[in-house]
């Protein structure tokens, strides 16, 4: 079987950084080829080189055995290379058909022949099992269907080689199943697929071969049937990775956080937290499990002062912190790793260094009499970046330029470093790769062992089960059950989260 | 890295050149000699010490109004109200100049302070409305401009003067005019305000970049949610930003009130100092040094252009088009870069 | 962003260097330039057979305001024609874009060695005062205001007289017994127009209502149009405007109304110049008459005197009906019926004789109205 795409010894540099160095990727006709790497390893750069968005400094690209120069995406299209972007490039107010034909519309006497287009879309959608409604507007259809539109867009342009950029990141489990089915159909119809991902489960499930890159360098290509997730993970991270985090049994001490009869309304004055009671002790991790939208976010915002408490009380170390300002809550001894790191956790346009003192800039030594002392700020930042393995060209780089995992590590470094009594970690590993996840889990356990209380909010049951010493299940605005991870199963938790089973309620 | 820097220098130079080129073609198209035209622009701005003085005089309020717009912008606010704040500052400086009798060492600082306070007060209200009620500052400040214009007119006519079109001239003790600067520049109206403007630019740089307050202001400008999360009082920073911005604008008014003119008159329309400040801030990249340099470019074009009709016979309208071309190309290069940078970021 | 800013910074830095160089070079280049200018001027003057040159600075209304700036320039052109001069050769003007430009423009002309420089409009009074002080060897003229300096001639007009006469015409023309007055900026000068107009209207018929509104600006045709629209819709059929460029909006509104309904009775009374051509629509004309203030006559007169060595420095030169520097236009023969013309002539006689004392301030006109 011949290679349909060959990228040989590709090198791509950006000012101050080598994004790709000597990477070779060879894709066979009719296979699903995984491109595996951590966030920031250089996967997207490599694919942008293939798609004509970047020009490589070194290396050769061959398509169907012929050496080519891909100067822009139009050239890539002509060569039959199509890209399904992670962030969809769709016009919300246009219909499915209009989006698919955008840029290469069939014309009839100067007008767009929409009938013909619709027929073509219909045909493609049946051929590849891509269910879409050609006349529906993008804003009215589900994320899964939007992705199918993206796929149809590339097929409509005659793509033979499809690049999927982290396609499952935005999908529900059901939609992921459907997508995998679609990929198999595409292969059966003679297409080839490059799947960019860092999810090992998917690779094992669907891919034929897998090329691993790490820190911009090509590590090698393996046959998927001959390998296992552990091997892939260690290839990607560069060392042995443990999937279930090792930890000693917790030794809970005195109560750190105590919440009593808490009621919180959201912006539309709907009760989101209703009579909630919860205690978190020093030296334990309490996992807050629940389906998104059951008041978890409001609970955390109420504790941290970002949202007004309607009634009830929040106590930290026996003192009330109810309805204090965020600053007073912070200074009372709470650290908060926010759910949405871009919206809350970082000022993306500040250098990463300045982000490291976001709550402490007004204290000595970072400022004196209202004047900032940049030397101290950046010294601190450098120390934290070192300690928490934040990979950044320099402390002066804008936070925006860092990869998600490194941004999150920076936030965790900043929050943990303040030596708080309570750490609230909301979805701390969302969207991160295994290496980063492992690092963050280890850090949280370390902090627990130092005697800190940790409240962990996560929608990933794996994470809750792995990390928590105690699990509080939240449903409909209150805690419906408290269980120990060793006494329960994912199945039982799932039922509790769905509100179909009541257990010993409350935290008393 | 080197080539990047070279490009960075080249792009603005090219855009000025392009603006001049297009302007030249327009002049040529209408049958005027572009070389004479531009020569007279240069002569009109720097031809002799008088014009040089007048150019610097024009640059002075532009620096301050540019700083006013830029300062608010760094906190994420679009202060269209600089114009009204300029008028109030102008009025306040003249009023204090006329109403109080004191030695210069007290009188002059008092008049300047009054201008800053008046501008600050005029910025405070939109800031308050934005912070407390979420009313968009653009709408409020536009309205405040008209209120300022007509309040000033009514006060000049009915309170400060006795039904006259302008106030009396302020006494020497409240005046920024300088005999030696005037003598140095053959009676141009260059005054000590230029030093105030440059000092204000330094102040803005210091506040924004060197103080914890500036850290908060910038943080709020970039991301209000993160600022709230970090424990900053977003509303207070918004108000403060508008107050400081208004104070700069008020000072710009004082430059005219007790510097260039020495009186306040009933105005038929806006001074445009505030509106031009928006362009100055944009060209200056909303940074203190950039604003100073952009103000110099702007002042030069404004004063120099006056000479083009008399000296080169180019009609005023054509001069305005040529000036607009230069600004357009400089501004669009800024935009193009901005887009390029953004695309690069997203591409990664 | 940072790089961006830095690049702009460098650009501006270059400009700054250029400026400093320019300033340094100015001591040489500047004087050469001045000589060059002098040569240019003397060439022009030689051609004119004289060693005299005149220039003017407009207010923000601009040279083509169809009002007194334009009128003044016409006067200068007439003066130039008499003496073989043309624009740039003995006569010239400079336009101002803002208040701040008055001084710069005046000084520019002083530097170009003009012998006599006019400031057109009272807005230029402070600038003339300052520049005249600094340049005692140059003569200045100020129109519509008084500046007490030995090298300044102050040119003022008895606008109240002319306004009185167009008031008479308006009173005789109105059918609704409602007339309007639109002023530019509420000021002593424009109050003079208002006072005369009101007195003239009331002298003919005490019961005619005079609606007065000030636009607040001389360069806001939009406002002029809006105010006129409002007045006409209230039943007012004659509007006298004393508002410079703002008045162009009044004409536009009247013409719009006429365009839609040719039989509609709408009139505008122009100011400063004969604004007949402004009122032309199809084959009819909405300009009833104009209060003609012959700024051109005054400018030409003062210029001629100055050239002959009789510059009225330090004096207030007042022009009125008796000098034919104020008059009432009769270009629209169809509208200005013989009745009206005769009545206007009669009143003119009485004013020139001193039989009627025309009020020139708001207080005086109130007294005048009460005495009727």
Sequence ranges of the domains in chain C: 51-157+294-320, 159-293+337-371
Beta bridge partners of A209: A33, A223
Instruction: Provide ipTM, 2 decimals.
Output: 0.82
CA C359 to CA C28: how far, in whole Å? 57
To test the contact with chain A by mutation, choose from B1, B6, B231 the residue with the greatest count of A C-beta atoms within 10 A, namely B231
The count of C-alpha atoms lying within 13 angstroms of the C-alpha of C162, restricted to the half-sphere facing its C-beta, is 31
Residue B169 lies in a domain: yes
Higher confidence at residue B269 or residue A277?
Answer: A277
B14: closest chain C residue by CA? C11
Q: What's the gap in Å between the CA of C1 and the closest CA on chain B?
A: 7
Banded model confidence at residue C2, pLDDT cuts 50, 70, 90 = very low
Give pLDDT tens digits for A308-354.
999 999 999 999 999 999 999 999 999 999 988 888 999 999 999 99
End-to-end CA distance of chain C: 74
Same-domain status, B144 and B25 = no
To test the contact with chain B by mutation, choose from A302, A306, A349, A358 the residue with the greatest count of B C-beta atoms within 10 A, namely A358
A306 with B228: Cβ contact below 8 A: yes
C184: closest chain B residue by CA? B268
The length of chain B in residues reads 348
From A105-119, A458-472, B154-168, C176-190, the region with the lowest mean pLDDT: A105-119
**Overall average pLDDT of the A481-506 stretch:** 76
Residue environment code for B268-298, b if the CB has 16+ CB neighbours within 10 A, otherwise e: bebbebbbbbbbbbbbbbbbbbbbbbbbbbb
B293 with C187: Cβ contact below 8 A: no
Same-domain status, B161 and B226 = yes
% of chain A exceeding 90 in pLDDT = 46
Q: What average pLDDT does chain A have?
A: 88
Q: What's the gap in Å between the CA of B133 and the closest CA on chain C?
A: 32
Same-domain status, B105 and B184 = yes
Residue B53 lies in a domain: yes
- Name B124's Cβ contacts closer than 8 Å, sequence gap at least 6: B239, B242, B243, B246
| Residues A286 and A452: beta-carbon distance below 8 Å | no
Q: What is the pLDDT of residue B202?
A: 97
What's the gap between Cα A67 and its chain centre?
Answer: 36
Query: C188: which chain B residues are within 8 Å (Cβ-Cβ)?
Result: 163-165
Residue B40 lies in a domain: no
Provide the domain count of chain B: 2
Of B209, B211, B219, nearest to A370 by CB-CB distance is B211
Which residue in this structure is represented by tokens 């410079």? C244
Q: What's the gap in Å between the CA of B138 and the closest CA on chain A?
A: 24
Alpha helices (H) along B134-233: 137-155, 179-184, 193-210, 212-222, 224-229
What's the gap between Cα A409 and its chain centre?
Answer: 13
Give pLDDT tens digits for C160-214.
999 999 999 999 999 999 999 999 888 888 999 999 999 999 999 999 999 999 9
Mean pLDDT by 10 residues, chain B (348 residues): 52 72 89 91 90 94 96 93 97 96 95 97 96 93 95 91 86 91 88 96 95 95 94 95 97 95 88 91 85 90 88 80 77 64 50
Of C9, C108, C188, nearest to B293 by CB-CB distance is C9
Which residue in this structure is represented by tokens 């603006």? B19
Same-domain status, B212 and B341 = no
Of C4, C22, C126, nearest to B42 by CB-CB distance is C22
Is residue A445 helix, strand or coil? helix
Same-domain status, B203 and B276 = yes
Cα angle vertex C218, ends C212, C220, to 5°? 90
A347 with B219: Cβ contact below 8 A: yes
Query: C187: which chain B residues are within 8 Å (Cβ-Cβ)?
Result: 165, 266
Chains touching chain A through at least 3 C-beta pairs below 8 angstroms are B
Query: C7: which chain B residues are within 8 Å (Cβ-Cβ)?
Result: 8-9, 11-12, 337
Say if residue A431's pLDDT is above 80.
no
Helix (H) or strand (E) holding B278: helix B273-283
- Name C131's Cβ contacts closer than 8 Å, sequence gap at least 6: B187, C103, C106, C107, C110, C140
Q: Hey, which residues 186-205 in chain C have their CB within 8 Å of chain B?
A: 186-188
What DSSP string describes B75-144?
A: TT---TTHHHHHHHHHHHHHHHHHH----HHHHHHHHHHHHHHHHHHHHHHHHHHHHHH---HHHHHHHH
Give pLDDT tens digits for A153-207.
999 988 999 999 888 766 766 778 888 999 999 999 899 999 998 778 888 889 9
Residue B44 lies in a domain: no
The range of the structural domain enclosing residue B257 comes to 49-312
What CA–CA distances, in Å, run from C357 to B191, B266, C203, C354, C369?
48, 30, 12, 6, 12
Of B212, B227, B348, nearest to A372 by CB-CB distance is B212
Please give the structure tokens belonging to residue A338. 């926010």
Closest by alpha carbon to B12, among C329, A40, C14? C14
A326 with B219: Cβ contact below 8 A: no
| Residues A9 and A24: beta-carbon distance below 8 Å | yes
Of B211, B227, B228, nearest to A372 by CB-CB distance is B211
Q: What is the pLDDT of residue B3?
A: 45
Residue B43 lies in a domain: no
Of B212, B227, B231, nearest to A325 by CB-CB distance is B231
Q: What are phi and psi of B193, to 5 degrees?
A: -55, -30
Q: What is the pLDDT of residue C23?
A: 44
CA B45 to CA B56: how far, in whole Å? 9
Please give the structure tokens belonging to residue B256. 């005219």
CA dihedral of residues C68, C73, C75, C78 (deg, nearest 10): -150
What number of other Cβ atoms are within 10 A of residue A143's Cβ?
11
Same-domain status, B281 and B339 = no
The length of chain C in residues reads 372
Query: B225: which chain A residues are within 8 Å (Cβ-Cβ)?
Result: 343-344
From A362-371, C43-52, C62-71, C292-301, the region with the lowest mean pLDDT: C43-52
C12 with B261: Cβ contact below 8 A: no
B4 with A401: Cβ contact below 8 A: no
Q: What's the gap in Å between the CA of B234 and the closest CA on chain A?
A: 11
Please give the structure tokens belonging to residue A175. 């939609």
Closest by alpha carbon to B197, among B242, B250, B148, B263? B250
Q: Using N-to-C axis directions, what is the helix angle for C101-111 and B49-74, rounded to 10°?
A: 160
CA C32 to CA A383: how far, in whole Å? 65
Q: What are phi and psi of A479, to 5 degrees?
A: -85, 115
The most confident of the ranges A190-204, B301-315, C39-53, C127-141 is C127-141
Residue B297 in contact with partner chain C when CB distance is under 8 A? yes
Of B222, B233, B345, nearest to A347 by CB-CB distance is B222
| Residues B204 and B248: beta-carbon distance below 8 Å | yes
CA C99 to CA C97: how far, in whole Å? 7
Q: What average pLDDT does chain C have?
A: 85
The count of C-alpha atoms lying within 13 angstroms of the C-alpha of B227, restricted to the half-sphere facing its C-beta, is 24
| Residues C206 and C200: beta-carbon distance below 8 Å | no
Is residue A107 helix, strand or coil? strand
**Overall average pLDDT of the C231-259 stretch:** 93
Same-domain status, B8 and B73 = no
CA C27 to CA C24: how far, in whole Å? 7
CA C221 to CA C227: how far, in whole Å? 10
CA A291 to CA A458: how far, in whole Å? 9
From A65-69, A177-181, A224-228, B326-330, the region with the lowest mean pLDDT: B326-330
Same-domain status, B217 and B273 = yes
Please give the structure tokens belonging to residue A15. 């000012």
Higher confidence at residue C15 or residue C208?
Answer: C208
Closest by alpha carbon to A156, among A118, A205, A113, A109? A118
Banded model confidence at residue A19, pLDDT cuts 50, 70, 90 = confident
A372 with B226: Cβ contact below 8 A: no
C26 with B285: Cβ contact below 8 A: no
Say if residue C344's pLDDT is above 60.
yes
Say if residue A489's pLDDT is above 90.
no
A359 with B231: Cβ contact below 8 A: yes
Q: What are phi and psi of C320, to 5 degrees?
A: -145, -160
CA A244 to CA A441: how far, in whole Å? 10
Residue B97 lies in a domain: yes
Q: Hey, which residues 301-330 in chain B have their CB within 8 Å of chain C?
A: 302-303, 306-307, 309-310, 313, 316, 330
CA A122 to CA A365: how far, in whole Å? 66
Give pLDDT tens digits for A343-354.
899 999 999 999
A53: closest chain B residue by CA? B347
Please give the structure tokens belonging to residue A286. 């309490």
Q: What are phi and psi of C242, to 5 degrees?
A: -130, 70
Q: What is the 3-state secondary structure (H, E, C) of chain C?
A: CHHHHHHHHHHHHHHHHHHHHHHHHHHHHHHHHHHHHHHHHHHHHHHHCCCCCEEEECCCCCCCCCCHHHHHHHHHHHHHHHCCCEECEEEEEECCCCCCHHHHHHHHHHHCCCCEEEEECHHHHHHHHHHHHHCCCCEEEEECCCCCCCCEEEEEECHHHHHHHHHHHHHHHCCCCEEEEEECCCCHHHHHHHHHHHHHHHHHCCCCEEEEEECCCCCCHHHHHHHHHHHHHCCCCEEEEECHHHHHHHHHHHHHHHHHCCCCCCEEEEEECCCHHHHEECCEECEEEEEEECHHHHHHHHHHHHHCCCCCCCCEEEECHHHCCEEECCCCCCCCCHHHHHHHHHHHHHHHHCCCCCCCCHHHHHHHHHHC
Q: What is the pLDDT of residue B339?
A: 57
Could you say which of 3.40.1280.10, 3.30.470.20, 3.40.50.2300, 3.30.465.10 is the CATH number of the domain covering C159-293+337-371? 3.40.50.2300
Q: What is the pLDDT of residue A170?
A: 66
Of B49, B51, B296, nearest to C12 by CB-CB distance is B296
A326 with B347: Cβ contact below 8 A: no
Residue B2 lies in a domain: yes
Which residue in this structure is represented by tokens 């009819």? C284
Q: What is the pLDDT of residue C20?
A: 46
Of B52, B157, B261, nearest to C26 by CB-CB distance is B52
Strands (E) in A140-184, as ranges, are 161-165
Residue C337 in contact with partner chain B when CB distance is under 8 A? no
A53 with B347: Cβ contact below 8 A: yes
A301: closest chain B residue by CA? B229
CA C372 to CA C367: how far, in whole Å? 9
Banded model confidence at residue C299, pLDDT cuts 50, 70, 90 = very high
Q: What is the DSSP letter of B168?
A: P
- Name C345's Cβ contacts closer than 8 Å, sequence gap at least 6: none
Residue B15 lies in a domain: yes
Instruction: Tell how strand C280-281 and strand C267-272 pair up.
Output: unpaired
Banded model confidence at residue A403, pLDDT cuts 50, 70, 90 = confident
| Residues B269 and B84: beta-carbon distance below 8 Å | no
Question: What CATH fold (topology level) applies to the domain C51-157+294-320?
Answer: Rossmann fold (3.40.50)
Instruction: Tell me if C51-157+294-320 shares its fold with C159-293+337-371.
Output: yes
Same-domain status, B268 and B302 = yes
Domains and CATH numbers, chain A: 3-237 (3.40.50.300), 255-497 (3.40.50.300)
């Amino acid at each position: 079987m011949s290679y349909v795409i060959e990228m040989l010894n590709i090198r791509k540099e950006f000012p101050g950084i080598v994004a790709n160095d000597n990477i070779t990727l060879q894709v066979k006709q009719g296979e699903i080829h995984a491109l595996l790497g951590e966030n920031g390893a250089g996967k997207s750069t490599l694919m942008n080189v293939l798609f004509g968005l970047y020009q490589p400094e070194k290396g050769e690209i061959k398509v169907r055995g012929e050496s080519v120069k891909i100067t822009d995406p139009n050239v890539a299209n002509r060569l039959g290379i199509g890209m399904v972007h992670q962030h969809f490039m769709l016009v919300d107010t246009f219909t499915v058909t209009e989006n698919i034909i955008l840029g290469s519309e069939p014309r009839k006497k100067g007008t767009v022949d929409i009938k013909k287009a619709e027929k073509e879309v219909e045909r493609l959608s049946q051929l590849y099992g891509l269910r879409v409604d050609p006349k529906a507007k993008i804003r009215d259809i589900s994320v899964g269907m939007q992705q199918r539109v993206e796929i149809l867009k590339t097929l409509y342009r005659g793509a033979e080689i499809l690049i999927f950029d982290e396609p499952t990141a935005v999908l529900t489990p059901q939609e992921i199943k459907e997508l995998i089915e679609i990929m198999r159909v595409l292969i059966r119809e003679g297409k080839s697929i490059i799947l960019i991902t860092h999810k090992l489960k998917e690779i094992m499930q669907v891919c034929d071969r897998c090329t691993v890159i790490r820190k911009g360098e090509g590590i090698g290509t393996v046959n998927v049937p001959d390998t296992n997730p552990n091997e892939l993970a260690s290839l990607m991270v560069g060392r042995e990775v443990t999937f279930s985090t090792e930890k000693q049994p917790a030794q809970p001490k005195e109560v750190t956080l105590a919440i009593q009869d808490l009621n919180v309304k959201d912006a539309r004055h709907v009760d989101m937290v209703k009579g909630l009671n919860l205690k978190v002790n020093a030296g334990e991790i309490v996992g807050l499990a629940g389906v998104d939208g059951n008041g978890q976010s409001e609970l955390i915002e109420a504790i941290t002062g970002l949202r007004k408490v309607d009634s009830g009380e929040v106590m930290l170390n026996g003192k009330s912190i109810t309805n204090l300002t965020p600053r007073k809550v912070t200074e009372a001894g709470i650290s908060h790793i926010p759910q949405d790191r871009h919206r809350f956790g970082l000022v993306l346009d500040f250098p990463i260094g300045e982000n490291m003192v976001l709550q402490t800039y007004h204290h000595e030594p970072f400022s004196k009499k209202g004047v900032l002392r940049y030397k101290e700020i950046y010294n601190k930042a450098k120390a934290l970046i070192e300690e928490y393995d934040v990979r950044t060209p320099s402390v002066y780089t804008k936070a925006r330029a860092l990869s998600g995992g490194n941004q999150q590590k920076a936030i965790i470094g900043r929050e943990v470093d303040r030596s708080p009594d309570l750490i609230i970690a909301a979805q701390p590993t969302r969207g991160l790769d295994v290496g980063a996840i492992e690092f963050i889990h280890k850090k949280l356990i370390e902090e627990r062992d130092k005697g800190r209380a940790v409240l962990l909010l996560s929608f990933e049951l794996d994470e809750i089960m792995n990390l928590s010493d105690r699990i509080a299940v939240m449903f409909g605005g209150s805690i419906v059950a408290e269980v120990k991870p060793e006494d329960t199963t994912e199945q039982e938790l799932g039922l509790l989260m769905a509100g179909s089973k009541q257990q010993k309620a409350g935290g008393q | 890295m080197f080539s990047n820097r070279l490009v960075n220098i080249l792009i603005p130079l090219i855009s000025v050149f392009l603006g001049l080129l297009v302007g030249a073609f327009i002049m040529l198209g209408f049958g005027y000699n572009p070389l004479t035209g531009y020569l007279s622009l240069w002569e009109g701005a720097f031809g002799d010490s008088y014009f040089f003085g007048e150019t610097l005089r024009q640059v002075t309020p532009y620096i301050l109004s540019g700083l006013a717009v830029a300062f608010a912008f760094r906190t994420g606010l679009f202060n269209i109200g600089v114009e009204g704040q300029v008028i109030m500052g102008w009025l306040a400086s003249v009023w204090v100049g006329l109403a109080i009798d004191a030695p210069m060492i007290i009188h002059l600082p008092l008049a300047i302070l009054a201008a800053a306070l008046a501008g600050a007060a005029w910025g405070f209200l939109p800031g308050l409305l934005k912070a407390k009620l979420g009313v968009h500052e653009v709408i409020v400040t536009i309205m405040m401009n008209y209120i300022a214009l007509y309040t000033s007119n009514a006060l000049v006519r009915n309170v400060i003067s006795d039904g006259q079109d302008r106030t009396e001239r302020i006494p020497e003790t409240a005046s920024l005019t300088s005999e030696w600067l005037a003598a140095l520049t053959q009676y141009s109206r260059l005054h000590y305000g230029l030093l105030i403007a440059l000092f204000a630019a330094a102040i803005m740089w210091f506040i924004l970049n060197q103080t914890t307050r500036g850290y908060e202001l910038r943080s709020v400008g970039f991301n209000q949610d993160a600022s709230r999360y970090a424990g900053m009082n977003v509303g207070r920073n918004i108000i403060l930003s508008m107050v400081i911005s208004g104070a700069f604008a008020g000072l710009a008014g004082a430059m005219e009130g007790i510097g260039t003119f020495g009186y306040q008159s009933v105005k038929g329309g806006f001074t445009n100092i505030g509106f031009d400040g928006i362009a100055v801030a944009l060209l200056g990249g909303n940074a203190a040094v950039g604003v100073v340099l952009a103000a110099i470019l702007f002042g030069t074009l404004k004063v120099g252009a006056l000479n083009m009709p008399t000296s080169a016979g180019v009609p005023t309208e054509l001069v305005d088009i040529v000036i607009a071309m230069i600004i357009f190309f400089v501004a669009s290069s800024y935009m193009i870069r901005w887009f390029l940078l953004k695309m690069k970021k997203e591409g990664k | 962003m940072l790089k961006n800013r830095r690049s702009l910074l460098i650009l501006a830095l270059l400009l700054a260097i250029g400026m400093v160089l320019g300033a340094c070079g100015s001591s040489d280049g500047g004087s050469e330039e001045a000589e060059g200018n002098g040569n240019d001027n003397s060439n022009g003057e030689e051609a004119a057979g004289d060693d005299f040159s005149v220039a003017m600075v407009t207010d923000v209304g601009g040279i083509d305001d169809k009002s007194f700036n334009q009128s003044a320039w016409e006067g200068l052109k007439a003066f130039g024609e008499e003496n073989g001069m043309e624009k740039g050769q003995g006569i010239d003007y400079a336009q101002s874009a803002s208040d701040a430009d008055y001084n710069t423009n005046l000084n520019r002309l002083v530097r170009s060695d003009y012998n006599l420089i006019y400031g057109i409009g009272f807005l230029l009074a402070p600038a003339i005062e300052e520049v005249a002080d600094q340049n005692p060897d140059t003569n200045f003229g100020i129109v519509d205001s008084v500046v007490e300096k030995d090298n300044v001639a102050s040119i003022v007009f008895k606008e109240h007289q002319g306004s009185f006469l167009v008031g008479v015409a308006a009173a005789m023309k109105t059918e609704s017994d409602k007339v309007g007055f639109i002023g530019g900026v509420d000021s002593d000068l424009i109050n003079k127009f208002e006072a005369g107009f009101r007195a003239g209207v009331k002298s003919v018929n005490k019961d005619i209502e005079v609606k007065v509104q000030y636009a607040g600006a001389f360069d806001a045709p939009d406002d002029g149009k809006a105010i006129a629209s409002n007045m006409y819709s209230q039943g007012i059929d004659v509007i006298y405007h004393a508002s410079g460029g703002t008045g162009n909006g009044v004409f536009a509104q009247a013409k719009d109304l006429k365009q839609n309904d040719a039989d509609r009775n709408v009139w505008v009374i122009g100011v400063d110049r004969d604004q007949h051509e402004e009122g032309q629509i199809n084959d009819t004309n909405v300009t009833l008459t104009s209060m003609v203030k012959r700024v051109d006559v005054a400018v030409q007169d003062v210029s001629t005197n100055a050239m002959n060595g009789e510059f009225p420095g330090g004096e207030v030169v007042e022009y009125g009906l008796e000098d034919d520097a104020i008059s009432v236009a009769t270009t629209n023969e169809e509208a200005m019926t013989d009745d009206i013309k005769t009545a206007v002539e009669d009143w003119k006689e009485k004013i020139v004789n001193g039989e009627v004392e025309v009020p020139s301030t708001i207080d005086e006109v109130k007294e005048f109205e009460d005495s009727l």
